[in-house]
Structure 1
Amino acid sequence: MNRLEAMELAEESEHCLRPAEAFALIGDETRVAILEALWQIDEQPAEFTTLYEMTETDNSAQFNYHLNQLTGHFVYKHDDGYELRTAGERVIQAVVEGSFNAHPDIEPFETGDQCTQCSGSLVATYAEEKLAISCPACGRTHGQYSFPPGGLIGRDEQAILSTFNQRVRHLHCLARDGVCPRCSGQMKTRVARGDDCCLDSDLRAEYTCKQCQHSLCSPIGLVLLDESAVISFYRDHGLDLQATPYWRLDWCVSDDYTTVQSTDPWVIAVSIVHDADTLTVTLNGNLAVTDIKRDTPRSVS
């Protein structure tokens, strides 16, 4: 299903507003203020009086009119008050994260890490709401992924990197598990080959939401960051994989350690090497793990 088909399906549903109607409903400062007040109130449902006082609206009749316009699509109305629907939460979250009203600009800065290919200094750059990690010396990219501008606000460079690392892990792990990180719809997984502007990898995993058409892509190895066998492998070497930025791991940023054993069906092996110790994880076309082997060299006495 493409984006046009998804929009047509939404328009045909009796439960969905047309996009223009949905945006028209929130195109008023009072209505946005109501949604923001509901988002800030800890105990919900919120009483009418509490909500009215928080929005500081001069006219109660006007306030009531705008509240009624939001009810049903962005706000639930209960016998004892009001609370946000998921759609209302999304509107306020978009404002808070900066998607609508924040456009910060930061200069490129060094991450303090080395390129997995040439050991040059990695640099982080931010443009068009995407953060990229790359090596100016050899040109290798170490991933370029969505990062809302709100993630930059109030954080220094190291905090930005840490947040970005956790975000990339979270989004792609959700996608691999079949859950759209944007709308919680079903994600379709496919293995693809060919050039991709944001990856230094011929082979990649692609995820597309069947509901909202949100898409993600990554090198195959990135899906193994939360795999228990891989976490244990690093723990055996005294390393905390979950605290390690993904761009330090060659198998997460390229396909140098990825071997295609079959394409029909897909059989893909990712070799993770540390101190001559090798863990080979085999996956199928859905990126489910089908086999794990470890080759640990025997110590010479």
Structure 2
Amino acid sequence: MSEAGEPGDPGDSSILDCDDCMTPAEAFAVVGNETRLSILEALWRADERPVSFSDLRKAVGMRDSAQFNYHLDKLRGQFVRRTDEGYTFRHAGWAVIHAVQAGSLTEQPEIAPFEVEGDCSDCGGPLAARYEDERVVVDCVECARTHANYPFPPGGLDGRTTGEVMAAFNQRVRHLHCLMADGVCPECSGTVETTVERDPAGYDLDVAVRHECQRCRHQLTTSVGQVLLDHAEIVSFYRDHGVDLNQVPFWTLDWCTADEYTTVLSDDPWRLRLDVPIDGPEGTPAGECEGERLTLTVDEDLVVREVERSPAGTATTSP
């Protein structure tokens, strides 16, 4: 019997351990064939799945049944699953098609800067967005301060106006942060570790939150405000003022894009305070609680421990 932690200990085994798994090189060699990609694309285009052998061959346009079966057999197991009714995708097959449709493998579009909603939190200048290197970047036209810089697959540009692209970008970034904050990597679904750190290199932040996937090493570094953007207390606070926060572009919210509204109360352990003023991108909305401010205090795990509402201009004291 093996000791705990030694090779062979069932408790140490990964659920991904297998004897017949492909290496990455083998997997790319399988799909790096025009006929096999055509098979995957035919499956994707099918109105219903599973697809029978004959219908799949007809969709690909290959007359030689034996040759078609040879290529289909190469895909079976890792990329395509055979059922009693025909053939359908396995996750790896979907991943290949998603990469093709996202445009990441075949497209390198760029969009020149165009005006977007919001004003610079530093100088009050106008904001402009551009698309390059598969990222949407929002900068101040006058002082060049960056308000947003996140990946956005080229496929997301297809059929959309610039306004629609930015609306989609707003929602995509929100969901990326939600997944990472919940401990799920948006790239590989691996486990994400979240830490708070001072002065991260390459970011205009004094204190930041870093998410890192422990499987694929995908990283996302952002402000405390961005992590808490969709927190129920903040969403309700805005709703009480007649604003649907989900529709507000995150890059227009100073407390979200910078850390000037974040106060470090303690760094051992971490204890942070975020002040959220109600003056959104269109100015302070009318209402009974006009001018209020929401204050959230969070611990080292970014869990909200205290919530307080107070009139604008009221001093916030540290505990």
Q: What is the TM-score of this pair, normalised by structure 1?
A: 0.90
Cα distance, 1:297–1:23 mapped onto 2, change above 3 Å: closer
Match status 1:280 vs 2:281 = no
> What does 1:1-301 align with in structure 2 at a 5 Å threshold?
13-14=18-19, 16-197=21-202, 199-274=203-278, 275-296=290-311
Letter in 2 for 1:286: D
* Structure exhibiting the larger radius of gyration computed from Cα positions: 2
Query: Could you tell me whether the CA contact under 8 Å between 2:139 and 2:147 is conserved in 1?
Result: yes
- Cα deviation for residue 83 of structure 1 reads 1.1
Check the 8 A contact 2:110/2:133 in 1, yes or no.
no
Alpha-carbon distance in structure 1 between the residues aligned to 2:260 and 2:312: 22
CA displacement at 1:13 relative to structure 2: 4.9
Shift of residue 269 of structure 1?
Answer: 1.1
User: Residues 101-135 of structure 1, C-alpha deviation per residue, up to 9 Å, x if partnerless?
Assistant: 11112111111321122221101122211111111
Q: How far did residue 77 of structure 1 move?
A: 1.4
- Evaluate the alpha carbon distance shift between residue 262 and residue 211 of structure 1 in structure 2; reply closer, same or farther with a 3 A threshold: same
Distance in 1, Cα, partners of 2:39 & 2:27 = 16
Q: Which amino acid aligns with 2:308?
A: K
Matched residue of 1:108: which SS? strand
CA contact (8 A) 1:200 1:253 kept: no
The one of the two structures with greater contact order (alpha-carbon pairs below 8 A, sep at least 6) is 1
Distance 1:128 1:89, change over 3 A: same
Deviations 1:118-171 (A, max 9, x none): 221101122211111111312321121111111122211111111111110011
The alignment covers a number of residue pairs equal to 289
Gaps of 5+ in 1: 1-8
- One-letter amino acid of the structure 1 residue matched with residue 147 of structure 2: H
Alpha-carbon separation, structure 1, partners of 2:152 and 2:176? 11
Residue identity over aligned pairs, in percent, reads 47
Runs of 4+ more than 4 Å apart:
9-13
Alpha-carbon RMSD: 2.0
- Whole-angstrom CA distance in 1 between matches of 2:178 and 2:20: 30
Separation in structure 2 between the aligned mates of residue 283 and residue 77 of structure 1, nearest angstrom: 50
